[in-house]
Amino acid sequence: MRCFLSLFCPEIDEDRLAKLVAWCDRYSPLVSRDGSNGAILDITGCAHLFGGEDDLLFDLQRRLERMGLEAHAAIADSWGAAWALARYGGHQFIVHGASQTIAALDGLPVEALRLPENTVWELRRLGIVNIAALRRMAANSLTTRFGPVVVQRLQQALLQAEEPLTPWRPPAVYRASRMLAEPVSTVGSVEYVLQDLLREVCGKLELNHLGSRHMDLACFRVDGTVDRCEARTSKPNRSVPHMMRLFAGNLEKLWANFGFETFVLSVCDAEPLYPLQASLASNELEQGESFDLLVDRVGMKLGFGEVNRIVVRESYLPEYATAFCPAASASIPASAEWPEYRVRPVRLIDPPMPIQVSVSIPGGEPVQFLIGRQNHRVVRCEGPERLFAEWWRDPENTDRSRDYYRVEDEQGMRFWMYLDATRTSWYLHGHFA
């Protein structure tokens, strides 16, 4: 006979629920979220670790209370019964055995059976309000009218049908585990085991032309608790030494206490990674790889959020036209298509440098200008490219525009300069090659 604990937190939000489910790991390895405001634990064989079911419930509720979470929990032989009791059971928390279960459920409303909303509504308008009334109906009559769901839920709750539980931790793509005869507690021995595990999973990955961005090592202590460490990469990877390097920094943070007895290495995701033909001239490959390795190593050190690359943004104003995005992100946002005729220099002068310009009349185009003491005479000039301010950024000062000119001086130097909204000040904003 299995034993389930249902947890119901009426006010919880998505975020806290996810955390709660992970936290419930302490009571049982088989935990899953249950709807939008609850969790279900298969505590078969776990209760004694906490001094029995009463004590487990007490411990759970005390801890949740301390976290400031309103929670109701109940234990029963089936998921369905535990669910019903946690939500509608009143003061009944622990129920075992078929007859006790039926007695406990009979008075509860039909909603307690996890039925679809409209089925509940249909049952109610027939006057079938509680589970006792529902049990009086013939099973095949119910199935004709409401489909198999009503009978199924009833049977599940009353221990007449099985209901498996899918634990919250997504099943790993590949996993490898080592159980040691003697617990270990030094970094060196953990490294040794890890290397062994990595060889196994990376071999499997290579065989299937896959690589992984995320691996997770679970280290089970003698006392049944778990510590974890993980390694992430920016690109799919299956190189043992590389992964070792990435894990290395984190292994030191593990706390062995009485020692680890079991290690499980899980490959959390996998993407296609085809074997590369080593080029004969053979430096490119390494360069490319070493760049990725660099990103990974810097990322593991500083956090991947800190390593960025530059993308083009859709903004006419040069200072807003580029943006940083995390280098390791799986999907790098597509850079905007830049209109070809809007020519921009590679580097901007930041902030733009004020310059003295004399202009032609009436055209208003630059004729000569001073940078420092150096006088430049304009030989060629193109423009203006008039750009309106992104007015929504500064609502008090919306009517601004700049006129950009590309100019070439007598020495063939090319400059990018603009006349600002005041119509009197000029700035140098970049050089063209």
Q: What's the CA gap between 5 and 7, in Å, rounded?
A: 7
> Please, what is the minimum distance in Å from the beta carbon of residue 394 to another protein?
8
Among 7-15, 42-50, 131-139, 237-245, the segment contacting another protein (CB under 8 A): 131-139
| C-beta separation of 47 from 25 below 8 A | no
Give the span between the Cα atoms of 275 and 290, in whole angstroms: 16
* Binding of another protein by 199 (CB under 8 A): no
User: What number of residues does the chain have?
Assistant: 433
> Terminus-to-terminus CA distance in the chain, angstroms?
79
One of 59, 385, 408, 420 touching another protein (CB under 8 A): 385
Q: Which residues pair with 366 in a beta bridge?
A: 359
CA pair distance 75, 52, nearest whole angstrom: 12
With binding defined as CB under 8 A, does residue 314 bind another protein?
yes
CB 153, min distance to another protein, A: 18
Bridge partners (DSSP) listed for residue 378: 409
Shorter beta-carbon distance to another protein: residue 274 or 392: 392
Q: H helices within 46-116, ranges in order?
A: 53-66, 79-88, 98-106
Q: Which of residues 26-65 bind another protein (CB under 8 A)?
A: none
Q: Which is nearer to another protein, 140 or 287 (CB)?
A: 140
Query: Of the candidates 339, 351, 372, 412, which one interacts with another protein according to CB under 8 A?
Result: 339
Q: How far is CA 335 from CA 110, 311, 330, 389, in A?
A: 55, 5, 15, 22
Nearer of residues 260 and 427 to another protein, judged by Cβ:
427
How many Å apart are CA 292 and CA 294, to the nearest integer? 5
Closer of 271 and 382 to another protein (Cβ): 382
Applying CB under 8 A, the span of 18-26, 50-58, 270-278, 403-411 interacting with another protein comes to 403-411
Contact by Cβ (8 Å): 405, 381: yes
Check binding of 386 to another protein (CB under 8 A). yes
How many helices (H) and strands (E) in the chain? 11, 17
Q: Which residues have CB under 8 Å from 16's CB, separation 6+? A: 69
Site string for another protein, 106-125 (x = CB under 8 A): ---x------------x-xx
Q: Which stretch binds another protein (CB under 8 A): 141-149, 200-208, 236-244, 349-357?
A: 141-149
Q: Which is nearer to another protein, 112 or 218 (CB)?
A: 112
Residues at the contact surface with another protein, assessed by CB under 8 A: 109, 122, 124-129, 133, 136-138, 141, 144-146, 313-316, 336-337, 339-343, 362, 382-388, 391-392, 395-396, 398-399, 401, 403-404, 406
